Amino acid sequence: MLRFHVNVDHVATVREARRISQPNPIRWALLAEAAGADGITCHLRQDRRHIQDADVAALRRSISTLLNLESSLAPEMVEIGLASGADEVCLVPEGREEVTTEGGLDVVREAKRLAVVMPRYREKGISVSLFVDPEERALEAAAQLEADFVELHTGRYANAEGDERKRELDRLVRGAERAHELGLRVNAGHGLDYDNVGPICALPHLEELNIGHSIVARALFVGVDAAVREMREIIARNATP
């Protein structure tokens, strides 16, 4: 069955707007678990704009499902990731001026650093995923590095409309098929919401979806439990058996 991880970054975004203790992303994560989330995802950025170091540690202590930590290749972040006790780490590109992650990791350019970092995570029993655009060269490089997963970047699909969205979906289908041929396990995420997630659920060989902002936004109106359950129902209805 297709797994569904809830990203709690933007619960922390609201908290950091006032730099106080509420809303608490750990409590929010526990509510998401109770509503059916298969795992919790968070992105500890170098600028600490939302999730903080203490949040990662508290999530690891508190949740009973999988913890997926998104992180850059910056040396400081690697050391934190290695000590985090996360079940999975997703290595992502990161720019200080971006509002959100804007594209996939350049696996070819970063291959030397990845070849050093990835075995260190594996030694800690942490699965490694690479956040990539659905492009042949990135997928082939990920396979050469023996990544456990690739997470296909769905942002361009999510932002597109009409025929362009159909073309982006076709790119993702081809990317998922190629990743599978190369021996990579396939996840997906970025920009997904209640209206656009359906076709993504049917991507071939897809194992895991990571969704955050849209669920946090929906929860403002209907509560965490209903927001998570609604998304889970959409995923279950559209996922390939």
For residue 17, the domain's CATH number is: 3.20.20.70
* Beta pairing, strands 149-153 & 185-189: parallel
How would DSSP label each residue in 115-178? HHHHHHHHHTT-EEEEEE-S-HHHHHHHHHTT-SEEEEE-HHHHH--HHHHHHHHHHHHHHHHH
pLDDT tens readout for residues 93-112: 986 555 555 689 999 999 99
In angstroms, the CA 130 to CA 195 distance is: 26
Full pLDDT tens readout for the chain, 241 residues: 899 999 999 999 999 999 999 999 999 999 999 999 999 999 999 999 999 999 999 999 999 999 999 999 999 999 999 999 999 999 999 865 555 556 899 999 999 999 999 999 999 999 999 999 999 999 999 999 999 999 999 999 999 999 999 999 999 999 999 999 999 999 999 999 999 999 999 999 999 999 999 999 999 999 999 999 999 999 999 998 7
Cα angle 97, 98, 101; round to 5:
145
pLDDT at 226 (0 to 100) = 99
Give the number of C-alpha atoms closer than 13 A to the C-alpha of residue 93, restricted to the C-beta side: 19
pLDDT at 95 (0 to 100) = 65
DSSP annotation of 238:
H
Query: Can 135 be counted among the known catalytic residues?
Result: no
Query: Can 50 be counted among the known catalytic residues?
Result: no
State whether the Cα torsion 118-119-123-128 is positive or negative: positive
**Model pTM?**
0.95
Candidate list 5, 10, 43, 153, residue with the active-site label: 43
State whether the Cα torsion 66-94-27-223 is positive or negative: negative
Candidate list 10, 33, 50, 70, residue with the active-site label: 70
- Count of all residues that appear for the chain in the document: 241
The pair of three-digit structure tokens given for residue 54, joined into one six-digit string? 């203490």
Query: Can 43 be counted among the known catalytic residues?
Result: yes
Q: How many separate domains does the chain show?
A: 1
Candidate list 33, 153, 190, 208, residue with the active-site label: 190
pLDDT at 241 (0 to 100) = 74
- Chain-centre distance for alpha carbon 235: 16
Q: Which domain holds residue 228?
A: 3-238
pLDDT at 1 (0 to 100) = 84
